[in-house]
Amino acid sequence: MSPVFLGLVAAICWGFHDICVRYLSQKTPVSACIFTVMLIGLLFHTGLMAVTDGFVMPAIPAIWMSMIAGVFFVIAGFGLYFAFQRGPVRLVAPLIASYPILSVGVAAAQGDTISLMQWLAVLAIVTGVALVAALSDTSHSKTPTKGLTIFYSIISAIGFAGTFAVGQHAAELGHEMSTTFITRVAAVGGTVVVLLSCKQPFWPGKRALPLLVAMGVADGLALLCVLSAGSLPDAQYASVASSMFGLLTILLAWVWLKETMTAAQWGGCIVAFCGVGYLAL
């Protein structure tokens, strides 16, 4: 199974997850949404382990790397939920999905050769995201001002880049199912600490629970796909391909939530995701 295929499966799962975040966060406490999805993701992964090969204790370095990946995943999750709560999706999705820029930058810093076309793809992502952001004028709508939305989105992108880089390295050092399980446990633990410290609610309400369960399963499958690619050649392409979730999220928001899109904004999205698509090849 190729890293790109695993990344595309993750993109589909996260596209569904993120459009649900945008929908639920308008009427359900964000803290409760995050906790429920994190918990369901952990339970889903635990169930998979129970019906497959169980838990294999990884080496100590892999355990530490998995825990660090869990911390990054908490950062990514809170940034994502707060960004999508504010919206609009056409601004948030390309920004969060721009984390391949960080992946390419880290690879270059580690001495990997980056071709001219890859750098041009990165430039296309930056240009497309900047175009969508510049044209997302919300001054005449109920959507909050975009400065804080952009900040949350960038924090989420950094969190995802860190999660995938560290988590894939942990999977390379140890058993991918086990290291992902440790990442999940660390993420749930980190979420509980944050919510208790900030005195935020945990219970989302019965009406939101079925959709949150579906989101948790999708999130669990997506993270497993990306991190399990760590044992494959060119594992970074799984995280790059998974960033295509942003395009699916934008399309779902246009169809389902009736968010408006101008021709120029569509152009910015296409430019950004063409860059992402090239990096995934």
232-268: pLDDT as tens digits: 776 667 777 777 777 777 777 777 777 777 788 788 8
More confident residue, 5 or 74: 74
Whether pLDDT at 50 is above 80: yes
pTM value > 0.85: no
Say how many Å lie between the first and final Cα of the chain, rounded: 15
104-157: pLDDT as tens digits: 777 677 676 778 887 887 778 777 766 766 665 544 455 567 788 889 999 999
Q: Which domain holds residue 26?
A: 3-280
Cα dist from 181 to 51, 68, 134, 193, 194, whole Å: 14, 13, 40, 18, 20
Whether pLDDT at 66 is above 70: yes
DSSP, res 27: T
Kindly give, in sequence order, each residue whose CB lies less than 8 Å from that of residue 126, ignoring residues fewer than 6 positions away.
98, 101
Domain tally for the chain? 1
